[in-house]
Homo-oligomer: A and B are copies of this chain.
Amino acid sequence: MPAANSGSAASQTVHVPLGDRSYDISIGTGNLVDVGRWVTSLRSVTHAVVISDANVAKHYQQRVEEAIAAEGVRVTSLVVPAGEPSKSVSTAQSLWEAALADRVDRKSVVVALGGGVVGDLAGFIAATMTRGLDFFQIPTSLLAQVDSSVGGKVGINLPSAKNIVGAFWQPKGVLIDTAVLETLPRREYLSGLAEVVKYGVTLDAEFFSYLEANVQPMLDRDPAVLQKIVARSCELKAQVVAEDETETTGLRAILNYGHTYCHALETVAGYGEYLHGEAVSVGMLCASRLGEKLGVFDAESTQRQFKLLSALELPVATPKLDERAILSVMQRDKKVEHGKLRFIVPHRIGKVVLTPDVPSDLAMDAWREGCEA
C-alpha cells in the first residue's frame, strides 16, 4: 500500500496500464503532505528537481520541497513565471542549464508541481535531460488533474505553433490532492469542469448523469464530489490512452471532442480571451449541433449539455467573430486530413465518433446557430 494514501481516508488509485510504462495516479484530499514518502516509495531517489511556477510556488512549493527533503532527498528548486509563455525554448534552456549547474545526473528525478504549463514544460525537461529522467507529476489545476496529467504528452511551443516540440514521456506516478483546488481562481476552476463534462459526453453517459445531479456540490468544490469527478475522468482518459498511447490509431482523437471549434475560437478571439475549458464548452455545443445536422444526434442531448454547462457557469454561445477566419483555422487544424474537415461528432451522450469529410457549410451552420443574440 503506497504511503501516499495515508494522508486521506478516502484516497484512491487509478492505474494507467501502459506495459512497462504503467503508472498509478494517487487521488486524495490533503495527501500532498505525503509527497516525500510517495516519491520515495516509487523508486529510490537522492536528488529531485522540483519545477513549479510563481503562482503555485507561493502556496505549495515549500511544503512539497520540505516533504521531499525530509526523506533525505537533495532538492533543486526551479520556479518559472506563470503562464503559457514559459513553454518556450528559452525557458527550457534555462531549466536545463540550472539543473545541470546544480549537478543533475542520470539518477535524478523531475517533479512537476503546477498546472498544464508546468506539467508540459517539466515533462519535456524530464524527457530530454541526460536522455531521459524519471518524472513525477503533482497537477494543481483541475484541468491538469483531469487531462494533462494522464497520457504522457509533454512539450513546449514555438512562436508559430503550440506543443509542436515535445515527446511522449510517461510519468512514474501522479499525485493528485484535490484540496489544492481550493486556492484555484474560480474562473479557472470552472474552466476545468468543461473537460470533466467532455468525459461524460464522449465516454460515459452514467457519469454525465452524475454531473447533472451534482452541479451545486461541484460549484462548491465539495471534496467527495471532487474526488469522484477527478478519479472518474482519469479512469476514462486512462482507458483511451492505454489503447492508443502515441495517438496512432485515431482512438485517442475522440478526446478532442469540441476541440476543433475550440481551437478556432481560441485563435480567432485571440489567445487569453477564453480559458481553454471555456472554449471547449462552446466547442462541444457546436459539435453537438453539427451532430444534429448530420442526423446522428438528437436536439434533446444537445440541450442537456447546454443546461449542464450553463449551470456550471461556462460560456455556451459562440461570439460574433469573422466566420471566414474561423473556417480558415479549422481547415488548417492538424485534425484536418487531405483538406477535408474532420470532427469528433456525438451520436449519443457517452458515444462520439471520429467523422472525416464533414462539409464545411454544415460545420459553419453549427457554429452560426450558437451565436449570441
Contacts and interface: CB of A to CB of B under 8 A. Distances in A.
Interface in A56-111: 89, 92-93, 96-97, 100-101, 105-106
| Copies of the chain in the assembly | 2
Nearest to A153: B131
A48 interface: no
Contacts of A164: 96, 100, 129-130
A261 B246 CA distance: 41
A161 interface: yes
Given A132-B168, A246-B132, A158 B105 contact: no
Contacts of A334: 105-106
A131 B168 contact: yes
Contacts of A96: 89, 158, 164-165
Contacts of A128: 128, 155, 165-167
Given A89-B89, A334-B105, A167 B129 contact: no
Nearest to A106: B334
Contacts of A352: none
Contacts of A161: 100
Contacts of A130: 164, 166
A195 B113 CA distance: 44
A158 B98 CA distance: 11
The A interface, classified by DSSP as helix, strand, loop or mixed, is mixed
Interface in A118-133: 127-132
A167 B100 contact: no
Nearest to A104: B164
Contacts of A249: none
B105 A160 contact: no
Contact of A127 (B97, B105, B129, B167): B167
Contacts of A163: 131
A100 B158 contact: yes
Given A105-B334, A168-B132, A246-B132, A160 B97 contact: yes
Contacts of A101: 160
A167 B166 CA distance: 11
Contacts of A89: 89, 92-93, 96
Contacts of A159: 97
22 contacts: A89-B92, A89-B93, A89-B96, A93-B158, A96-B158, A97-B158, A97-B159, A97-B160, A100-B158, A105-B334, A127-B167, A128-B155, A128-B166, A129-B164, A129-B165, A131-B153, A131-B155, A131-B168, A131-B246, A132-B168, A132-B246, A167-B167
